[in-house]
A and B are shown apart, each in its own frame.
Chain A
Amino acid sequence: MNSTTNNADVVLSVRDLCVETVSKSDPKPILKSVSFDVYASETLCIVGESGSGKSVTAFAIMGLLPPDALRITGGTISLNNKNLADSSYGEILALRATTMSMVFQEPMTALNPVQRVGEQIDEVIRIHRNMPAAQRKQMVLKMLGEVDLPDPPRIYESYPHELSGGQRQRIVIAIALILEPKLLIADEPTTALDVTTQKQILHLMKQLQKLHGTSVIFITHDFGVVAEIADRILVMRNGMKVEEGTRTQILRAPVDAYTKELISSVPSIHPPEAKHAKREPVLAVRNLSKTYGRKPLFGKARGVAALSDINLDVHKDEVVGIVGESGSGKSTLARCVIGLAAGWEGDILLGSRPLEPHSRDRPQDIKKRIQIVFQDPYRSLNPRRRIAASLMEGLVNFGMPAKQALEKVADVLSIVGLDASVLDRYPHQFSGGQRQRLCLARAIVMEPEILIADEAVSALDVTVQGQVLELLADIKRRTQVAILFITHDLRVAAQISDKIIVMQKGRIVEQGTPQEVISAPREAYTKELINSAPGSNWDFKHFREFVPSPA
């Protein structure tokens, strides 16, 4: 990864690019005079939070702005000295795939589900090159090998649903790179993938880039990924360029205050010092097993073990972080505890009282003691109801008079950093971070003993994520609530947890204090998970690399 900034070979040059919403009366600026260059065979990472304009920049370059919503109002986009901003649709069409390509975030929807993947790659060649079928197939098979897919002839004949998410993303990359474009734009290409898969895909992209000499614009919100792959970094916010520089410049010595905040908000994978001793257990899970998919009408019952033989304890004033990739059963565990997934075997003890599987069978005072915050803040509040009604609902269910409930809700709002004026508003008037605070308020107003946070910060921007994590820690300090913190993000778990439980395929692989699990993992899977976490050698908070520990 030597610096390529000295290379004067500019592939893409964006100058004063402005994009506005299409509106006669009131056009809003989306991109405000953005300028940057991409040099030959370098990786430029465009980093920013949601709404920063990073994806709009990519779409503007590819000519993919929705014509009825967004348009370029100024500036130039020069690709190989050709200005794309005033090129015709046909001209841009000819450049796509041949000179510039794009890889999208969601490999599940980027491929046509009813066409074999080999044909989908072949289509690109068919459209742009005049080449006999046999030669095209040869080319596709070679490309499938290059993206490290096993048995290319078999993959060629596969349909997308037969492939895993990582394999699909390899196909998408193959489609993007088959005609050896000069420029590849990757819009969050690994965000939807598990960390271990992400690591492989990042490695593959790096390898192919070297092989073909492609320039890459890599759009991401994840500074871990940036630390792994960037040659240069462009930080964006609110449609403007905040800062641009080489990887080391930005990560070690950011100039702009926002960049500093953005980078230092990234939680470190190395846990802080251990804190306290054991307290009384509030939740105990014993031999919990759950199988999905029961007795179909015809044929043999095919069960998928979502959880097998889970044992864990949660103590008062303790954060237990449950970490795992998709399909590890971590969310199922949460749903079993809260009573949203019936049909499990084993015992879940609240204090010493065994819990009924289904929430509706549990007495009200038991329900009250366990509360949950979900992942998606946009769907967690009923859009038709005022905040006051949503937040009071639980208290009123337990027989508290409305007036008293409202007072209590107002008190709790101050804990989550919102004031009582929000009560008359509707959910759509709040940002994701604010909504998640409201969901937290709704849960803690019940004064639960156990708070389950199911990926509660995963959908939030990194700076907001930091604030919500701090809020959680603050709530724990005030109320001594035990928190079951479910996440796929090892860094977040490392920072907030008193105990970490690593899950894989419905089993607990390893558990212990963060120090034990992260700094000295015993199991191979845990090691792989930690190694896959992008930028794990980087101490973002202090703008430096970690000194390799002797251990």
Chain B
Amino acid sequence: MATPSKLTLFLSSWPTRLALAMVALVVVMAVFAPWLSTQDPMFLDPAVRLKGPSPDHLLGTDAFGRDLYSRIIYGSRVSLMVGAGVLAISIAFGVVLGALAGYFRGLDSIIMRIMDGIMAIPAVLLAIALVAVSGSSLYTVIIAIAVPEIPRVTRLVRSIMLSVRGEPYVEAAITLGTPPAKVLLRHMLPNTVAPLIVQGTYIFASAVLIEAILSFLGAGIPPEVPSWGNIIADGRSYFQLIPGLVLYPGIVLSLTILTINMIGDAARDALDPKLAARN
């Protein structure tokens, strides 16, 4: 049976391609921010406060006379770093904890009860508390957002481990004298890759969103740093006067999250044949 490869399946629909293009655009924004921006995003110019779009300031300026366009461009750096950082931390911890819980019965209840404890605290609240305790910086924000995500990954990995450990090929490996660590790495963990790719995109999107929420609430990235949440928070007071201050960063934020989630859905359809067949 010649089935199309997972990659072709993934790329087969035009909304997915569009979403990929949008995400690529954000990545380009972040990488080439110094060249794409027209001004230093931190540069204060009291002479041009709260001005509308002009050739000098493509999207206008904010209450301190900073160039909105440049700030949005630089904001993508923060968002992507938060997304990637949260993804890396939550996957790293989640996979290790989930694999341990799923493979060693004795550790299972201990690890999972701790995870249940973390999940019982609202994610944003926990993040605010963590930022309050350790001060506001990009790294605290990343850790603060990553901690509540860890239980989700742990649960996912554990459930896959539990279902895979009864597979005859895993049992066969055990009877062939394969040491537990190798059974885990070689026969069991590869089964988690596809679901983790899918889950990873959702974690990425939600991290970007939560960072914006925290920054908007003033509990996130230091206020002078251009992050999309900070920009929206700054613009809030002048929203009626110049809607663009909230609107433009809001649109970019929403589109980024929407497209990342779309990619996640497409990845799930391509990687999980059971779910795809149901559609």
Contacts and interface: CB of A to CB of B under 8 A. Distances in A.
- Does A associate with B in a complex? yes
Nearest to B167: A379
Interface residues on B, range: 10 to 19
Given A340-B175, A393-B173, A360 B168 contact: no
B2 to A, nearest CB: 9
Ranked 9 nearest A-B pairs via Cβ:
A394-B176, A374-B168, A380-B168, A397-B177, A367-B177, A382-B169, A379-B168, A364-B177, A338-B175
Contacts of A370: 175
Contact of A340 (B174, B180, B187, B190): B174
A98 interface: no
A384 interface: yes
Interface of B: 167-169, 171-180, 186-187, 190
A372 B176 CA distance: 9
Contacts of A446: 176
A6 B178 CA distance: 64
A437 interface: no
A395 B178 CA distance: 10
Interface in A314-365: 338-340, 359-360, 364
A439 interface: yes
Contact of A359 (B168, B169, B174, B187): B174
Contacts of B176: 367, 371, 393-394, 397, 442, 446
Interface residues on A, range: 20 to 34
Contacts of B174: 339-340, 359-360
Contacts of A398: 177
Nearest to A394: B176
Given A374-B168, A376-B168, A382 B187 contact: yes
A443 to B, nearest CB: 8
Contacts of B177: 364, 367-368, 394, 397-398
Interface in A372-403: 372, 374-376, 379-385, 390, 393-394, 397-398
A359 B175 contact: yes
Contacts of A359: 174-175
20 contacts: A340-B174, A340-B175, A359-B174, A360-B174, A360-B180, A367-B175, A372-B171, A372-B175, A374-B168, A375-B168, A380-B169, A380-B172, A382-B169, A382-B187, A384-B190, A394-B178, A397-B176, A397-B178, A439-B172, A446-B176
Contacts of B190: 384
Contact of A397 (B168, B169, B179, B187): B179
Contacts of A439: 172
Contact of A374 (B172, B179, B187): B172
B180 A442 contact: no
Interface in A287-338: 338
Contacts of A371: 175-176
A379 B180 CA distance: 19
A349 to B, nearest CB: 18
Nearest to B170: A382
Contacts of A340: 171, 174-175
